[in-house]
Amino acid sequence: MKLIVEQPYPITGSVSARALAQAMGLPSRVQRWAVNLARLGRPWTLGLITGPSGCGKTTLARAVFPEARWLDPTPHAAESLFDLTGGLTEAERVASLMRCGLGSPRQWFCPPDRLSGGQRILASLLPMFIEGRGLWIADEFGSTMDRRRAKLLAMTMRQRLIATVRRRADGAQINRTPRLVVISAWSALARWLAPDWIMDGRDGTIRRRTPPKPDEADDRFSSGKLTLERTSRRCWSNFAWAHFLDETLHRSARAYLVRWHRVPVGFVATLQVPGKRGFRRVTRLVIDPVCQGLGLGINVLNMLAEVETVGGDRLSIVTRHPGLAGALSRSPMWRFIRRCRRRPHQGLLTERRMSEAVVSSFAYLPNARAPDRGGHRETLIPGG
């Protein structure tokens, strides 16, 4: 089926504007696109409309997908992003926010109108992950984000979409995978987004792509391209802003830098437990918020534990983050020790919780078997 889209561009404006257009001999024109809808194919999850600015990408998307819902980066009238996720359980709220790339709790409790331009792009994805299913369009995708973060968001978008799952009251999972059409003038985005099809915004031609297999899409983020390397404590300054409790680092901490596809995406450090020889604990774990919610943190902890326990030492971690605590409790590599309540640090969490914070402790099990990763193996790179 072929769809013909026409967009007229008449000469309008004031008398002087129309007089100038007439003097220049500028005629009215009608832009036409011929879109072969059969090229879209079925089924598909992720599509891309690209082309130079002003070529008509948005007009074309409205005509080809009239039933789609548009993701709006305009700030919503709410006290915080967390309040926009009403109707869900607390675990589903946290999962939805992290799936949007808003993995820092400081962002959860921030009023939407105080978000930066890049954070508003991420927050606009929230309705799609909350409701699931349906067809959605993201215009100017990543336009107000730095290229590194936009690249990371694009590389993980398919995994974010297929991870949109809900549970019924009886515990059964409900697959609510939405379909997303991304509009961007950044043509290089196709390399990282890996869409099912690409539409040229200039003439409407569609080029089909071979999407990754489901197991490959799930494993893109936790593949052997994830590395951990020793680094100096000075590197902490690049990630301290993303830590939601304390921005300081102990002078005796052993620091590691996390890279994915050679791009720094996180920082982790361990510290000797006072008075207990051979016991170390994770004192800092920070993953770039745009990369959270995809299992990167638990993979980093498993890699770190393999290194720290080589000499027979033991490793533990204490966390207040509900997402990380849930991942650790589901992992066979970590044993739950206890859950207690402590007074939270002064500041944002005290204002939101108005009560004591829940703290969970876990210990690494050296003899437990790690989940199979399809032949991929994480690596440790010695470094300075």
In sequence order, the β-bridge partners of residue 381 are 229
pLDDT score, position 216: 47
The pLDDT-based confidence of 29 (bands split at 50, 70, 90) is: confident
Grade residue 271 by pLDDT with cuts at 50, 70 and 90.
very high
Give the tokens for residue 341: 């309540």
Q: For residues 60 and 34, give the distance between their C-alpha atoms in angstroms, rounded to a whole number.
A: 10
Residue 347 has pLDDT above 60, yes or no: no
Burial class (CB in 10 A: 0-12, 13-18, 19+), 303: buried
Q: What is d(CA 70, CA 64) in angstroms, rounded to the nearest whole number?
A: 13
Query: In this predicted model, what pLDDT tens digit does every residue of 243-254 receive, in sequence order?
Result: 877 778 999 999
Of 134, 168, 291, 163, the residue nearest 225 (C-alpha): 291
On the question of pLDDT at 220 being above 90, the answer is: no
Are 159 and 296 contacting, i.e. CB atoms less than 8 angstroms apart? Answer: no
User: How far, in Å, CA of 45 to CA of 302, rounded?
Assistant: 31
Give the largest Cα separation in the chain, rounded.
Answer: 87
Choose between 101 and 319: higher pLDDT.
Answer: 319
pLDDT of residue 369: 58
Give the per-residue pLDDT at 173.
54
- Give the pLDDT of residue 8: 80
More confident call, 147 vs 173: 147
**How much is the mean pLDDT over the chain?**
80
pLDDT at residue 346 tops 60:
no
pLDDT tens, position by position, 162-211:
766 554 445 555 557 889 999 998 888 888 888 999 999 988 899 887 65
Q: 293 or 232, which is more confident?
A: 232
Based on the number of CB atoms within 10 Å of its own CB, is 142 exposed (0-12), middle (13-18) or buried (19 or more)?
buried
Share of the chain above pLDDT 70, in %: 83
Judge whether residue 40 has pLDDT over 80.
yes
Q: What's residue 371's pLDDT?
A: 54
CA distance 347 to 349: 6
Q: What is the pLDDT of residue 302?
A: 93
* DSSP letter, residue 39: G
Amino acid at 95: A
Instruction: State the pLDDT at residue 224.
Output: 52
349-371 pLDDT, tens digit each? 443 443 345 788 999 998 765 55
Start-end of H helices in 52-146 = 57-64, 90-99, 105-108, 117-123, 126-131
pLDDT score, position 47:
93
State residue 163's pLDDT score: 66
Long-range contacts, stretch 109-112, CB < 8 angstroms, 24+ apart:
109/80, 109/81, 109/82, 109/348, 109/351, 109/352, 110/80, 110/81, 111/75, 111/78, 111/79, 111/80, 112/75, 112/76, 112/77, 112/78, 112/80, 112/81, 112/84
The pTM of the full predicted model, rounded to 2 decimals, is: 0.71
> Is the confidence at residue 212, as pLDDT, over 60?
no
Please state, in angstroms and rounded to a whole number, the distance separating the CA atoms of residues 149 and 282.
26
- Cβ(40)–Cβ(15) under 8 Å? no
